Every structure is written in C-alpha cells, then in structure tokens.
C-alpha cells in the first residue's frame, strides 16, 4: 500500500493549516527531509524559493510547488516548477479542491463532477468558433454578475483565453469548439474551459505566460489570464488530448493577500526536454529508445506566432558509428581548410566533396543518401550531432560487456607492431594534415596530368596503402590479420590492404574454399587496379612514403622485439578480466571497462601515451563494430517486421477472397436447390393439368430429371433472370385481364342501360354474341388440345435429345401462334362488343325518334302506349337475364384464358431452361445453340411486344368504350326525359279525355 502513495517532500518549515489539511489526504505521503525519502524519488517537492535544491538524481523528475511568492516565475516554471499557490487561497473550498485535484491528478472534463461537493449552481455553454466568443462571454458574465461574483476580470479572462486557443488552433495544436462550464460555490465563481488539443507541451504555456512586451501576440495571453483571476489552473489530459483551463474568482477578494501574485497551477504538462527525459526514464529497452529518439527544431511557422515543435526522427542505420567518425573527420578537415564555407551554408555536394577526402573510401561507399543527409544535418544543427552521439552512446550502453571484452581480445590478438605504431600516430589532426599536404602536391600533379577530381582521391588512398606495404617490409613483420573496418583511423586505404591481408590470412588458416575463391577474385581485381594506379601515381606515393617512413622509424625502434611479449601479458590480463565477468564478479559498465583497458595497456606497454592511444583505438574499434552490428540487427528487424506486415496484408486479402468464394458457392447451391424445388412443384401442377395420358411419360421424364437438374445448376443465374421476365409477363397479363374484365363490366352496364329500352334486334344480337362466345370457347378448346400436344412433344423432345431443338422451336412457335390466336379472339370479342354498342346506340336513336313522334302526337289520345311500355319491360327483363348469362360465360372464358396463359408461361420457361441446359451440354457446338437461344429470345420479345400492343389496344378500346358509355348515359337520360314527358302528355290526354267525357 505504501508504494501506491504519492510521495511528497516538504521543505517548508511551516505550512498553513489549510494546506496541511490537504496534505493529510490518505493517498499522500509527506516527508520533511531528504533523508526520510529512503532513496525514493518524490513526485512533488514543496520548496521555498530561497532554498536551492541540491543536485540529486532522485529529484530529476519531481515537480516543484511553491507556497510563497516567486520572483522569477519564468525561471521557476522552466525548472520543474509547476505550482505557485497562495496559501490564503487554500482557505476557500475551491482552493482546497483545486490543490487536492493537483496532488491526486484527478481532473475531469465535467465541472459539475469536479467540484461536486461545493458547487451550488453550474451551467455550460459552448464557444463553437472564435467569432462568436463575445456573445457567450456575455452570458457567462451576466450569470456571474447575477451571482454577485466579481466580474471585472471575467470578460478579459474569457477573451484572452479564447484568443490563446485561437492561436493554438491556427497552428493545428488545438481546435474549436470549446466547452465552457461555469458555476458558483459558496465563496467563488469558477469557469472551466475544456479545449481539445493535439500534443501539448509546457513550452506552449510558458511562452504565453511570459510577462514581457513582445511583438508576438501569443506571448502574454496566458499572463493576462493569470492576472485577471485569483487562480489559474491548467490541466492537460494526455490520453484524451484535452486542456482544462480553469479560472477562479473569490467573492471576497480581500481574503487574499495583495502582495501574492499570481496563483498558477500547471498539471501534467512537461516541457519538451522534460518530456524526452521522462520518456527515457520510462522506457527500459535502450534500443527501443534510440528508435524513438527525436529531434526538436524550434521553428516559427510563417504567419504564426506560437513556437511549435516538429518531431523529426533519426533513422538509425548500421552506419551511425561511421557517420559520427565522418562528421568528426570533416570537422577537423574544415578547421584546416582555407575559405571553408560556414556550417549553415554547407550543402550535400560540399559533404560529398569532404567525404572524398576521407582515407577509407570503403566506408564512404557503404553510405546511403540518408546517411549523407544526416551528416549534413549534423553540421546544420548542433543538437542533431548530439543526438547521433547520444544514440550511439545509448546503444553502446546496451552492449553486452562480455561480448565487448571478447572483441577487444580478438582485436588484440590480431594486433601487430606496425598497427600499434599506426594507432599511436592516428591522431586525426596529423591525418588530416597529411591528406592536406598530399592534396596540395597532387593538385600540381593534377594540373599536369589533367586528372579528374574523383580519380585524384582514389590515388591518394592507394598511395597511403602502398606506403604501408613498404613499411611492412622494413620492419620485416611476417603476417597481418586484419578484419574489415579494423582501425579505420589508420592512414592506410583499407580496401586494398584488407584484401591483401585477408588473402594471406586465408592461406595460413585454411578458410572455406568458396569464400576464399571469392575473395581471391576480388583481390585480383583490386591488385590490378592498384598496379595501374601505381604507374600513374609514382611520384605522389614516393613523397608519402618518405614522409611516413620518418615517423615510423622512430617508434618502431621502441616497440620492435618487445611487442609480442607485451601483447601476451596484456592478453592474459584481459582474459582474466573476462573470466571474472563471466563468473559474475565484474559488473562494471562499458566505460569502466574501457578505462580499465587503458590502464592495462599503459602498464603493459610501459608508456602512458602509447598505452592510452592503443587502448582507445582498440576499444573504439570494438565498440564501433558491435554498435554497427546491433544497429544492423535493429534495421533488419524493422525490415522483417515490414515484410511480415505486407505478408499479413496479402494473407488478409486472400482470406477475404476465399470467404467471398464460399459465400458465392453457398448462394449458388441454394439457388440450384430452390430451382429444383420450383421445378418439381411446377412439374406436379403441370401433371394435374395435363391429361392422364401423359403420366407415364412424366415418370420417364422424372428419371431424366436428374440429368436436367445438373444442367440447371449451371444455368441457375440465367434462370433467375428468366424468372424475373416471367414475373413481368405475368404482371402484364394480369393487367390485361383486369382491363378486359373492366371492359366487360362496362359493356354489361351499357347493355343494362340499353336493355331498359330493349328491342328484338338487341336480343338477336345478344344471341349472336353468345354464339360467338361459344365459338371462342371451342377455339380455346382447340388451343387446349394444341397445348396438350405441345406438352407431349416437349416430353418427347426431352427424351429424344437429338430432336429437342426442333421441338422447342416448334413449341415456341406454337405457343406464339396460340397466344396470337387468343389475342385475336379477344380482339374479335371486343369488336363484337363494339358492334353491340353501336347497335345499342342505334336503338337509342330509334327511341329518340319514337319520342319525337310521341311528342307530335302529344295531343292525341293513345291507350295502347301503356301496353307497349309493359311489353318493353318484359323484353328488357328477358334481355337482362340473357345478358347475365353472357357475362357469366365471358367470365368463364377469361378464367380459362388466364389458365391457358399461365400454362403458356410455364411451358415457355420449361422450353427456355431445357434449351439452355442442352445448349450447355452440347457446348462443343456453341454457335447453333446460342443462335437458337437468340431466336427464342427474339420470339419471346415478339410475344412480349405483341402482348404490349394488345394491352395498348385494350386501353384504346376501353377509352373508346368510355366515350361511348358517356354518350349512352347522355342518351339514356334524354330517353328518361322523353319518357317523363310522354307520361305527362298521357296524363294530360287522360284529363282532356275525362273533360271531354
């Protein structure tokens, strides 16, 4: 439990009672002296400004709070200071809550829960954009005024605060809308602004908190805010990226001592540098850290005022140690260079130029473009160079010590006297000097020979190497065992030298053949090259040789003869150290090992300077090699990860494709099973319709069905389309039928009206219609029969595969014919009805004339009129009955028609599917079946169009019928009128007759 507590180091002798109260919270543990810390790092340190804190690793990450006035606020905040708190403020409830909230890091966005216990009233408003802040500020201010809070600074606070956020928004560091919560407690007004922000550093706050005149409008905004409130509290919620910005105004201003100013709390905000440190301390793996290491560039974005941080990562490559070396080399070189351009003016070409001067060109060839750029960056920015250094150090710190020592030992065994000499001379300065003087001379040569720049450099290198070879013969040493990159600081051009040495080495040690062969090849090429250059560069090399010889001669004397003995001693010592380390006795760091190494060499060689140089050379080389390896492995891991990721993506896609395929398959299966079901059902219904004679054939057909089903699966998709077509056909037919029915109904009504004035002629016509109906019926029967025949033929055709196409074609033709016939029959029927209508009209006209005659006769008595009327009524009734019969018949006909059509549709479908199936089966002869399909489709289309035409005809006829009906209605009304008049006239007649009598 103890560890969960927040540790606070209090260095104030006396704190106010209210603050003590806050500090007595269960979650806090307060200690009064450094000794009491027991080596635990305190999270917070409460400290008076006058007391300076001793350097202590425990305090590195601690935050400092002051309960006294601070003179240099900026300095305080910049150095881990987070809180300046007026002790008087803690007397208020709100002050206590704010202080508690700081210690317990428990800020929440919702103000009503943050100050739950003490808040009396609270409201929320939104600053949706910077343009309308004024309106909402007024709302808050009016509220504050109504609550008798001090509003003098409130509006300024809100406007400066929102300006601060506007600036952040301008730099994409934050954005609107802001949630503004405000409320009152018993003794204070609180306003809390919640602003969404991106990564937030304390630097942004401090820049704006500065109390100085600046042309930068951002500077000072928060300072204004802090001056307008009694306490300003800033709290960053890192996870959800929000900045809580709270201002507090005490109602009783006099309770605060006037000389204390201001109260500012900065919660959970760290400067960029602190943040980096924190990150370092939190991350265990050093390698991981180096990957995350970032570089800061302070930059004022054009048109902006906020100083922002741009994170820029160093991509560490295995070349990092080389880069460091090259940077050092170039620096030294530039120090000796005349008219050297300024660091800031360097460009990538300059870097390339310097790199060409580097003795070991094999290092240069390994560089990539990124590395060159990094070198350039190191010159442009000091921090970048430091960053590189730091990365290397971090990696170095993470090296395995055993491995390190082992490498040192390996290097040592490979070390020869001349190497020692070279090492002791490998002061970069002299090296550069050498190159420079050499260069000067070469320039002359170049003038004479007109050589190119690049060639010039390679010559220089080979020259150095040659010189070494000569040196070797002088000392008379036998063999050299040098690895690649070993002692890169030595003057020799390693590339060739290494090759030569390796060659020897391999010969003596008997390395695997394949490798040897390879290297031999390389060597041959290189020696050739060297020889060529030898010829060209004779005089330059001579000069170099002479120069180096002088130096080496002196040291060679010191070392020769004793070297082997000394080396043996040193090796023994180191071996002993290594043994210790393996046993876990030694736990020193790399630096300590290096130091120890120096000591050993100093003792072993008897010369302090020489010992240190050699030790440094060996250690540097070993660590560089290991670092390179380590970085290389990091790089490889990264590449591997990337590769895995891309593989994963591919796998994901494959998976998705497979899944889609499965889904498709199931859909297909479902389709085909549905098809079969449908087919079976239709088959049974068909069997009901078709005469029993077909039943045997049907059985046979069922046997074949299996094979047909197989075909159907293949054409299921087309079938669906066909089903849709069928559907649309059926709908069209239904519509047509409805229309026919309507027509009939209309005719009936017309006939009804007519029959009132019915006549013998009409009855005759009715009979005619019924006859026609009978005729139609017989026609339908014929059609029935033909359809039955067709059915039979289909069955036959299905059994006899060879004749299927013909049968289907014929059947379709038949169907079309039948359909056309049916349509024609309908047309005839309609024509008849029209005729009837016309007759009815004629009848009406007749009636009219009769009526006029009656009018004329109006004065004459006519006793037989009533008799006539009675007769007519009788006739009408009989006509009505007959009409009813006829309509029944027509209904029956239409039903029959419908049945036929359905049958036709079904047959169509069957033909189509069978045809398609067969088309698939005989896929060898594609064109004929597809041709047939096309024909069928054409036929179907024709059928469709004829149907459409027919429906159009029906529409036309119905509209005609409508008009006729209207006419008929008009006439009937007229007729009625006339009848009435007739009745009146009759009455008058009767009266007249009575009077006459």
Partner 1 sequence: MSKNQSENASFLLEDEEESVEFREPISIESKPLVLNIMEMHFSVGQIFWTMTSGKRINLFNSGDWIQKSYLNKFLKANKTLEIEPQINEHYCSLGLELFKSFVEAEEESDKAEIREGLIEWLAKGYWNAEEEVGMLDLAFVCAQTFYSFSEEEEDLLFESSTELFKRSSVIGSMLVCLGVVVGYLDTNLLRDLYHISFLFDCSLDEVTLSTNLISALENERNNGSEWEEALSESEKETFLNHSKNSASRASSLFSKRISNPGLVHFIEVHHEKINGKGFPLGLREGEISDIEGLIIFVNNRLPFRDLNFERGDASSLFKNLMERGAQLETVLTKRLKKIITNEFENRDSDHAKYLEISGV
Q: Residue 607 class from Cβ within 10 Å (0-12 exposed, 13-18 middle, 19+ buried)? A: middle
Member of 11, 108, 451, 522 binding partner 1 (CB under 8 A): 108
- From the CB of 635, what's the least distance to partner 1, in Å? 24
Cβ–Cβ < 8 Å for 965, 745:
no
Q: Residue 522 has which token pair? A: 């390389």
Closest to partner 1 by CB, 122 vs 791, is 122
Member of 17, 72, 128, 846 binding partner 1 (CB under 8 A): 128
Provide DSSP, 593-649.
HHHHHHHHHHHHHS-HHHHHHHHHHHHHHHHHHHHHHHHHHHHHHHHHHHHHHHHHH
418: left (phi over 0), alpha (psi -120 to 50) or beta: alpha
Member of 144, 221, 231, 237 binding partner 1 (CB under 8 A): 237
Closest to partner 1 by CB, 191 vs 839, is 191
Give the bridge partners for 194, in sequence order.
179, 244
What distance lies between CA 154 and its chain's CA centroid?
A: 43
Q: Which of residues 908-947 bind partner 1 (CB under 8 A)?
A: 947
Question: Is residue 826 a contact residue for partner 1 (CB under 8 A)?
Answer: no
Question: Is residue 81 a contact residue for partner 1 (CB under 8 A)?
Answer: no
Question: Is residue 109 a contact residue for partner 1 (CB under 8 A)?
Answer: yes
Question: Is residue 651 a contact residue for partner 1 (CB under 8 A)?
Answer: yes
Question: Is residue 731 a contact residue for partner 1 (CB under 8 A)?
Answer: yes
Question: Is residue 105 a contact residue for partner 1 (CB under 8 A)?
Answer: no
- From the CB of 959, what's the least distance to partner 1, in Å? 15
Member of 48, 177, 313, 801 binding partner 1 (CB under 8 A): 177
Closest to partner 1 by CB, 174 vs 321, is 174
Residue 238 makes CB contacts below 8 A (sequence gap 6+) with 200, 268
Stretch that binds partner 1, among 355-363, 557-565, 730-738, 971-979 (CB under 8 A): 730-738
Cβ–Cβ < 8 Å for 518, 509:
no
What distance lies between CA 967 and its chain's CA centroid?
A: 73
Q: Which of 673, 902, 677, 891 is nearest to 784 (CA)?
A: 902
Question: Is residue 148 a contact residue for partner 1 (CB under 8 A)?
Answer: no
Closest to partner 1 by CB, 241 vs 698, is 241
Member of 451, 711, 732, 921 binding partner 1 (CB under 8 A): 732
Provide DSSP, 425-451.
H--HHHHHHHHHHHHHHHHHHHHHHT-
Measured between alpha carbons, how far is 488 from 431 in angstroms, rounded to an integer? 12
Q: Which of residues 188-207 bind partner 1 (CB under 8 A)?
A: 194, 196, 198
Question: Is residue 723 a contact residue for partner 1 (CB under 8 A)?
Answer: no
Closest to partner 1 by CB, 121 vs 515, is 121
Phi, psi of 236 (to 5 degrees): -100, 125
Cβ–Cβ < 8 Å for 808, 798:
no
Measured between alpha carbons, how far is 26 from 487 in angstroms, rounded to an integer? 62
Nearest-5° angle of CA 423, CA 427, CA 428?
A: 125
Stretch that binds partner 1, among 121-129, 444-452, 499-507, 555-563 (CB under 8 A): 121-129
Closest to partner 1 by CB, 654 vs 680, is 654
Q: What is the per-residue binding string for partner 1 in 153-172, x denoting contact by CB under 8 A?
A: ----------------x--x
Closest to partner 1 by CB, 897 vs 985, is 897
Closest to partner 1 by CB, 269 vs 690, is 269
- From the CB of 109, what's the least distance to partner 1, in Å? 6
Question: Is residue 662 a contact residue for partner 1 (CB under 8 A)?
Answer: no
- From the CB of 949, what's the least distance to partner 1, in Å? 11
Closest to partner 1 by CB, 194 vs 317, is 194
Closest to partner 1 by CB, 123 vs 260, is 123
End-to-end Cα separation, the chain, in angstroms? 137
Question: Is residue 111 a contact residue for partner 1 (CB under 8 A)?
Answer: yes
- From the CB of 208, what's the least distance to partner 1, in Å? 19
Question: Is residue 119 a contact residue for partner 1 (CB under 8 A)?
Answer: yes
Member of 12, 147, 175, 792 binding partner 1 (CB under 8 A): 175
Closest to partner 1 by CB, 34 vs 725, is 725
Member of 97, 107, 158, 378 binding partner 1 (CB under 8 A): 107
Stretch that binds partner 1, among 239-247, 261-269, 339-347, 505-513 (CB under 8 A): 239-247
Phi, psi of 180 (to 5 degrees): -115, 110
Question: Is residue 659 a contact residue for partner 1 (CB under 8 A)?
Answer: yes
Q: Which of 529, 533, 481 is nearest to 503 (CA)?
A: 481
Provide DSSP, 852-918.
HHHHHHTTS--THHHHHHHHHHHHHHHHHHHHHHHHHHHHHHHHHHHHHHHHHHHHHHHHHHHHHHH
Closest to partner 1 by CB, 273 vs 734, is 734
Cβ–Cβ < 8 Å for 519, 501:
no
Member of 120, 336, 633, 637 binding partner 1 (CB under 8 A): 120
* C-alpha dist (Å) from residue 307 to 156, 160, 210, 272, 278: 24, 18, 13, 12, 22
Q: Look at the alpha carbons of 99, 101, 107, 108 in this order and tell me if their dihedral is positive or negative.
A: negative
In three-state form (DSSP H/G/I as H, E/B as E, the rest C), the secondary structure along 158-169 is HHHHHHHHHHHH
Question: Is residue 125 a contact residue for partner 1 (CB under 8 A)?
Answer: yes
- From the CB of 726, what's the least distance to partner 1, in Å? 12
Q: Residue 22 class from Cβ within 10 Å (0-12 exposed, 13-18 middle, 19+ buried)? A: buried
Question: Is residue 126 a contact residue for partner 1 (CB under 8 A)?
Answer: yes
Contacts with partner 1 by CB under 8 A: the residue count is 56
Closest to partner 1 by CB, 172 vs 608, is 172
Member of 348, 652, 775, 831 binding partner 1 (CB under 8 A): 652
Member of 186, 315, 948, 993 binding partner 1 (CB under 8 A): 948
Member of 60, 135, 301, 685 binding partner 1 (CB under 8 A): 135
Member of 62, 122, 530, 975 binding partner 1 (CB under 8 A): 122
Member of 241, 689, 816, 889 binding partner 1 (CB under 8 A): 241
Q: Which H or E run contains 83?
A: strand 81-84
Q: Residue 24 has which token pair? A: 């007595």
Closest to partner 1 by CB, 115 vs 201, is 115
Question: Is residue 104 a contact residue for partner 1 (CB under 8 A)?
Answer: no
Measured between alpha carbons, how far is 542 from 726 in angstroms, rounded to an integer? 102
Decide: helix, strand or coil at residue 839: helix
Radius of gyration of the chain (CA): 54
Member of 571, 735, 770, 958 binding partner 1 (CB under 8 A): 735
Question: Is residue 248 a contact residue for partner 1 (CB under 8 A)?
Answer: no
Question: Is residue 951 a contact residue for partner 1 (CB under 8 A)?
Answer: yes
Member of 69, 124, 902, 972 binding partner 1 (CB under 8 A): 124
Question: Is residue 666 a contact residue for partner 1 (CB under 8 A)?
Answer: no
Give the dihedral of Cα atoms 882, 886, 891, 895; nearest 10 deg: 130
- From the CB of 947, what's the least distance to partner 1, in Å? 8
Give the dihedral of Cα atoms 762, 764, 765, 766; nearest 10 deg: 90
Residues of the shown chain interacting with partner 1 in the complex, contacts defined by CB under 8 A: 107-113, 119-126, 128-129, 132, 135-136, 139, 143, 169, 172, 174-177, 179, 181, 183, 194, 196, 198, 237, 239-242, 648-649, 651-653, 655-656, 659, 663, 728, 731-732, 735, 947-948, 951-952
């Amino acid at each position: 439990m103890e560890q969960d507590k927040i540790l606070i180091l209090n260095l104030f002798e006396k704190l106010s009672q209210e603050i003590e109260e806050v500090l007595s919270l269960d979650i806090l543990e307060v200690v009064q002296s450094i000794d009491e810390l027991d080596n635990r790092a305190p999270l917070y340190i409460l400290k008076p400004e006058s007391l300076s804190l001793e350097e202590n690793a425990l305090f590195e990450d601690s935050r400092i709070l002051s309960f006294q006035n601070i003179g240099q606020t900026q300095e305080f905040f910049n150095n881990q200071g987070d809180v300046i708190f007026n002790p008087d403020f803690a007397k208020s409830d709100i002050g206590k809550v704010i202080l508690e909230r700081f210690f317990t890091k428990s800020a929440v966005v919702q103000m009503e829960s943050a100050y739950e216990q003490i808040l009396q009233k609270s409201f929320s408003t939104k600053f949706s954009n910077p343009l309308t802040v004024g309106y909402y500020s007024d709302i808050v201010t009016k509220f504050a005024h109504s609550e008798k809070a001090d509003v003098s600074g409130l509006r300024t606070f809100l406007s400066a605060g929102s300006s601060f956020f506007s600036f952040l928004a301008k730099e994409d560091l934050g954005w609107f809308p802001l949630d503004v919560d405000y409320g009152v407690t018993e003794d204070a007004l609180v306003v809390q602004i919640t602003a969404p922000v991106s990564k937030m550093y304390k630097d942004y706050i401090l820049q704006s908190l500065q109390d100085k005149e600046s042309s930068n409008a951002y500077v000072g905004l928060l300072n204004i805010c802090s001056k307008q409130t009694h306490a300003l509290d800033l709290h960053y919620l890192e996870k959800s990226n929000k900045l809580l910005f709270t201002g507090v105004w005490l109602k009783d201003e006099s309770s605060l001592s006037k000389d204390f100013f201001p109260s500012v709390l900065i919660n959970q905000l760290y400067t960029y540098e602190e943040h980096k440190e924190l990150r370092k301390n939190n991350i265990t793996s050093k390698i991981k850290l180096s990957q995350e290491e970032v570089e800061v560039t302070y930059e004022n974005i054009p048109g902006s005022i906020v100083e922002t941080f741009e994170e820029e990562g160093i991509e560490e490559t295995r070349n990092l140690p080389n880069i460091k070396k090259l940077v050092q080399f170039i620096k030294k070189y530039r120090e000796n260079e005349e008219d050297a351009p300024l660091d800031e003016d360097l460009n990538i070409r300059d870097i390339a130029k310097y790199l060409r001067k580097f003795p070991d060109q094999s290092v240069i060839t390994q560089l990539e473009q990124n590395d060159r750029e990094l070198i350039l960056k190191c010159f442009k920015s000091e921090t970048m160079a430091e960053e590189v250094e730091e990365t290397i150090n971090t990696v170095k710190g993470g090296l395995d010590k055993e491995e390190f020592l082992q490498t040192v030992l390996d290097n040592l065994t490979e070390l020869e006297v001349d190497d020692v000499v070279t090492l002791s001379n490998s002061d970069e300065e002299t090296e550069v000097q050498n190159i420079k003087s050499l260069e000067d001379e070469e320039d002359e040569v170049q003038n004479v020979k007109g050589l190119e720049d690049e060639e010039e450099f390679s010559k220089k290198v080979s020259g150095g190497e040659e010189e070494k070879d000569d040196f070797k013969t002088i000392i008379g040493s036998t063999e050299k065992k040098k690895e690649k990159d070993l002692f890169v600081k030595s003057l020799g051009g390693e590339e060739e030298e290494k090759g030569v040495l390796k060659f020897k080495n391999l010969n003596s040690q008997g390395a695997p053949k394949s490798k040897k062969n390879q290297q031999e090849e390389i060597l041959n090429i290189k020696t050739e090259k060297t020889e060529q250059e030898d010829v060209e560069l004779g005089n330059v090399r001579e000069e170099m040789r002479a120069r180096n010889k002088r130096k080496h001669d002196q040291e060679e004397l010191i070392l020769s003869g004793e070297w082997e003995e000394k080396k043996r001693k040193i090796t023994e010592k180191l071996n002993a150290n290594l043994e210790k380390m393996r046993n876990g006795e030694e736990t020193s760091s790399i630096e300590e090992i290096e130091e120890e190494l120096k000591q050993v060499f100093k003792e072993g060689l008897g010369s302090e300077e020489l010992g240190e140089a050699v030790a440094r050379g060996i250690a540097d080389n070993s660590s560089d090699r290991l670092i390179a390896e380590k970085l290389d492995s990091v790089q490889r891991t990264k590449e591997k990860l990337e590769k895995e990721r891309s593989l994963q993506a591919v796998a994901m896609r494959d998976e998705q494709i497979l899944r889609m395929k499965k889904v498709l398959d199931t859909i297909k299966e479902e389709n085909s099973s549905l098809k079969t079901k449908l087919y079976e059902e239709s088959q049974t219904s068909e069997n009901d319709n078709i005469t029993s004679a077909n039943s045997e054939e049907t059985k046979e057909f069922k046997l074949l069905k299996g094979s047909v089903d197989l075909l159907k699966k293949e054409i299921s998709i087309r079938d669906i389309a066909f089903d849709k077509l069928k559907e649309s056909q059926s709908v069209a037919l239904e519509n047509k039928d409805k229309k026919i029915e309507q027509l009939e109904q209309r005719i009936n009504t017309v006939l009804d009206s007519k029959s009132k004035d019915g006549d013998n002629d009409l009855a005759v016509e009715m009979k005619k219609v019924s006859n026609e109906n009978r005729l139609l019926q017989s026609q339908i029967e014929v059609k029935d029969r033909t359809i039955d025949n067709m059915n039979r033929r289909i069955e036959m055709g299905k059994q006899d595969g060879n004749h299927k196409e013909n049968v289907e074609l014929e059947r379709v033709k038949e169907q079309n014919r039948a359909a056309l016939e049916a349509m024609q029959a309908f047309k005839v029927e309609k024509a008849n009805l029209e005729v009837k209508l016309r007759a009815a009209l004629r009848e009406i006209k007749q009636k009219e004339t009769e009526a006029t005659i009656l009018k004329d006769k109006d004065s004459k008595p006519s006793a037989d009129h009533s008799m006539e009327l009675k007769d007519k009524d009788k006739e009408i009734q009989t006509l009505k009955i007959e009409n009813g019969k006829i309509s029944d018949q027509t209904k029956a006909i239409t039903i029959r028609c419908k049945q036929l059509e359905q049958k036709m549709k079904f047959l169509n479908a069957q033909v189509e599917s069978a045809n398609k199936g067969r088309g698939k089966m005989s896929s060898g002869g594609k064109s004929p079946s597809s041709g047939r399909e096309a024909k069928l489709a054409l036929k179907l289309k024709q059928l469709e169009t004829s149907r459409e035409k027919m429906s159009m005809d029906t529409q036309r006829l119905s509209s005609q019928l409508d008009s006729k009906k209207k006419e008929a209605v008009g006439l009937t009304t007229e007729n009625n009128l006339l009848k009435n008049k007739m009745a009146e006239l009759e009455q008058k007649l009767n009266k007249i007759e009575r009077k006459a009598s």
